[in-house]
Amino acid sequence: MRLQKIVNRLQKLHPKEIDLSLDRIQNLCKSLGNPQDKIKAISIVGTNGKYSTIQAMFSILKETNIKCNVYTSPHIKNINERFIFDNKELNNEELANLFEKVENANNNEPITFFEILTAAYFLKASQYPDNINLIETGLFHRFDATNILKNNLASIITSIGLDHLDWLPKSQQNVQKIIYEKTSTLLNSNIIVAKQSNKKITDCIKKTILNNSANKFFYNESYSFTLKENDFFYYEDQFGGIKLPMPNVKGQFQLENISTAIATLRILKNFNLNNQHIKKGITKIINIARLQEINSGKLKKLAKNHRLFVDGSHNPLGAKVLNEYLESLNCNKHIILGMMANKNHNQYMKYFKNFSTLTTVDIPNQPNSIKGKELKDKLNIFTNINYKESIEEAIKSIPVKENDIILITGSLYLAGEVLNLN
């Protein structure tokens, strides 16, 4: 209750949810003693795969007995997920105490919720100067609150695609502008560029970071992986190759994220990392709401013997890689869809092929989401589409047959509701 009261106060410190600027976060951190200057960080920017890449690095580093602090957003089930220190999530009392300290330092000055959360993270992280910080950038990067570090160990560029276009000028709502916003102000330590959806995007990234003096490493040039039969894949970079077991997360796109995580940790060299650490780490990754299979709980009971997945993908690039996984399965697929109002709903759904039914739903507790009925009307190119008010009703209404799967997708906020319901 105390934590929620503080969160409610912090959310009212600025009239806008997002106000792209670095002034407020810099001023607050200055009053806190510039804690961001006292940490060792790996920064992760991109459109898709940031969270998964972080979780892969986190899992591998835990095998080497290296302590990590982790900052991700948004949270799925509770805000504590964003604040991991010394490999552990802060509990409610610890988080409330941290927020109060930063709130007092801010002295009621206007500041966005994400900015004050970021300042709180930096302050707590500075108490663990030997830990490795895995920091996910929020919206874009150039004016994101996380972009006040003066130094870092590395910057990772995950897959970049179209998303959050409503925050760009109408004339600049394109992938080139997104690449510029995400990569033009990266620090000059090491830059690792993950596999991109096409060569044009990779070339645009190369052009944007051309004058950055960082050491640069690109997928397929500096490192790569090959999917092999018999449940293993082969990773290779300048230091040699490793035969690796398949990870405990699903989808080939996760192999791309994991390979980028491995490349980064091997490039940095100072982690005493060996092949066994990597092999064990990639089989223990905790990836909430990223092609997560629900094996027990209230919603699983409604799905009965059918496989139930939840995935928080919410942009066209996410839909593309998610469909690639679905296409690898020889069964009927049923999609339950809820999305935020500012997304390109038809563009998202156009990537899904060969599904049996589509059911739209409302996302509970999200005033900025599109109503399920309106979403159904917007997606009228599909004939096999229905609307149900709740997630439970949607699951119960699906005419499943033996070995069918049910996938709930379209929003991380929907994924959070699903996991809390379950």
For the chain, give every domain's residue range. Answer: 2-281, 292-421
Taking the domain 292-421, which CATH number applies? Answer: 3.90.190.20
How buried is residue 229: exposed, middle or buried, by Cβ count under 10 Å (0-12/13-18/19+)? exposed
Residue 413 Cα to chain centre, angstroms: 12
What is residue 140's predicted lDDT score, i.e. its pLDDT?
81
If one counts every other C-beta atom within 10 angstroms of the C-beta of residue 286, the result is 11
E strand or H helix that includes residue 103: helix 92-106
**How far is Cα of residue 113 from the mean position of the Cα atoms in its chain?**
18
pLDDT of residue 167: 64
On the question of pLDDT at 110 being above 70, the answer is yes
Q: SS in 3 state form for 35-84?
A: HHHHCEEEEEECCECHHHHHHHHHHHHHHCCCCEEEECCCCCCCHHHHCE
Beta-carbon count within 10 A of 91 CB: 11
Nearest residue to 115 via CA among 35, 21, 38, 42: 21
Taking the C-alpha atoms of residue 57 and residue 43, their distance in angstroms, rounded to an integer, is 12
Q: What is the predicted pLDDT for the residue at 383?
A: 86
Residue 67 predicted with pLDDT over 90:
yes
Q: Is the pTM of this model over 0.85?
A: yes
d(CA 134, CA 127): 15
> Phi/psi at 30 (nearest 5 deg)?
-60, -40
Q: Do 113 and 119 touch, CB atoms closer than 8 A?
A: no
CB 176 within 8 A of CB 184: no
Q: How confident is the model at residue 285 (pLDDT cuts 50, 70, 90)?
A: very high
CA-to-CA dists, residue 413 to 122, 294, 359, 368, angstroms = 25, 17, 17, 10
What does the pLDDT read at residue 385? 95
Task: Determine how β-strand 232-237 pairs with β-strand 240-245.
Answer: antiparallel
List, for residues 112-151, the tens digit of each pLDDT value: 999 999 999 999 999 999 999 999 998 789 999 999 999 9
| Percent of the chain scoring above 70 in pLDDT | 99
> So what's the pLDDT on residue 228?
81
The predicted pLDDT at position 166 comes to 67
Mean pLDDT of 348-365: 94
On the CB side of 56, CA atoms within 13 Å amount to: 29
φ, ψ of residue 152 to 5 degrees: the values are -150, 170
State pLDDT tens for residues 373-405.
999 999 988 888 999 999 999 999 999 888 899
The superfamily CATH assigns to domain 2-281 is Mur-like, catalytic domain (3.40.1190.10)
Average pLDDT, the chain: 94
Interval 316-336: pLDDT, tens: 889 999 999 999 999 999 999
pLDDT (average), residues 336-342? 96
pLDDT digits (tens, 9 = 90+) for 206-252: 999 999 999 999 999 999 999 887 789 999 999 999 999 999 999 88
With a CB cutoff of 8 Å and minimum separation 6, the contacts of 355 are 326, 332, 333, 334, 335, 384
Q: What length is written for the chain? A: 422
Q: How many helices (H) and strands (E) does the chain have?
A: 15, 17
